[in-house]
């Protein structure tokens, strides 16, 4: 039982497996909640947006708590060093998805809707593709845990494609921003907008990094057959 994939297939340490599945679902919910926050913000429902931003923060905190619990569990289980290390990396990669959504939500909290209205449609498109990426990643983690690696490659390819699409939208946003007159925007607002866009892109980047790590796990298992 040298690789993480083999460990998943044995169904040992059920508590850890259950919590990894829970973490994948919470990470996905965090990204969905960020979309709600952005939509309410663009509709100028500032009270609703504020509540949604807080929900993103709460879910991200829950993901952090779950991460700490999982890492603690790893020290208790009878795991090989490689399995323990791979699980820790998988959990950390997943956590980055929620962290990125929360980073984007925090930036919304200090901006005004008019600041991002010129790029609103493209931001929403980025987030929609990031949500799909997080959804596919959640399902990929569950498939991986079931040991059905033959179904994983297509999911990983889809996540890679979505990340590329987000990159393309990011580039279009930068082109649009370069055409706007920002004389009325302070340097702080400009920097915060840039950070918001970067945080949204980082959601899909983190999904891709997690998916790529799953692929590495499977390649390790294939080499040891």
Q: DSSP assignment of 1-70, as one string? A: --SHHHHHHHT-SHHHHHHHHHHHHHHHHHHHHHHHHHHHHHTT-HHHHHHHHHHHHHHHHHHHHHHHHH
pLDDT at residue 3, as a whole number:
61
pLDDT at residue 95, as a whole number:
94
Q: What is the pLDDT along the chain (225 residues), one digit of tens a residue?
A: 456 556 555 555 567 778 888 999 999 999 999 999 999 999 999 999 999 999 999 999 999 999 998 888 778 767 778 778 888 888 999 999 999 999 999 999 999 999 999 999 999 999 999 999 999 999 988 887 776 667 788 899 999 999 999 999 999 999 998 888 777 778 899 899 999 999 999 999 999 999 998 888 777 665 665
pLDDT at residue 1, as a whole number:
47
Kindly report the CATH number assigned to the domain that includes residue 191.
1.20.58.220
Query: In which domain, by residue range, is 125 found?
Result: 4-223
- What's the rounded Cα separation, in Å, for the pair 204 and 2? 30
pLDDT at residue 11, as a whole number:
54
CB crowding 185-204: b at 16 or more within 10 Å, else e: eeeebeebbebbbebbbbbb
Instruction: Write out the two tokens for 210.
Output: 């997690």
Q: Say if residues 94 and 134 touch (Cβ distance below 8 Å).
A: no
* Residue 80 region by backbone torsions, left for phi larger than 0, else alpha for psi between -120 and 50, else beta: beta
pLDDT at residue 80, as a whole number:
77
Q: Say if residues 211 and 27 touch (Cβ distance below 8 Å).
A: no
Count of structural domains within the chain: 1
- What's the rounded Cα separation, in Å, for the pair 201 and 183? 26
pLDDT at residue 185, as a whole number:
79
- What's the rounded Cα separation, in Å, for the pair 21 and 145? 8
């Amino acid at each position: 039982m040298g690789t993480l994939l083999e460990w998943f297939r044995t169904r040992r340490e059920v508590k850890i497996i259950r919590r990894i599945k829970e973490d994948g679902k919470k990470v996905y919910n965090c990204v969905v909640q960020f979309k709600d926050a952005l939509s309410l913000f663009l509709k100028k429902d500032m009270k609703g947006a504020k509540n949604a931003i807080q929900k993103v923060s709460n879910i991200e905190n829950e993901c952090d708590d779950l991460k700490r619990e999982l890492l603690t569990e790893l020290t208790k289980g009878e795991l090989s060093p490689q399995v323990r290390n791979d699980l820790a990396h998988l959990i950390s990669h997943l956590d980055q998805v929620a962290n990125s959504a929360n980073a984007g939500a925090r930036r919304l909290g200090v901006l005004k809707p008019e600041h991002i209205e010129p790029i609103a449609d493209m931001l929403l498109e980025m987030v929609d593709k990031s949500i799909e990426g997080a959804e596919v990643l959640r399902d990929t983690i569950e498939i991986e845990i079931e040991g059905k690696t033959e179904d994983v490659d297509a999911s990983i390819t889809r996540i890679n494609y979505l990340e590329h699409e987000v990159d393309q939208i990011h580039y279009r946003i930068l082109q649009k921003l370069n055409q706007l007159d920002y004389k009325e925007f302070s340097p702080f607002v400009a920097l915060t907008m840039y950070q918001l866009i970067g945080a949204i892109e980082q959601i899909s980047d983190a999904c891709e990094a997690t998916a790529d790590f799953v692929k590495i796990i499977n390649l390790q298992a294939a080499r040891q057959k």
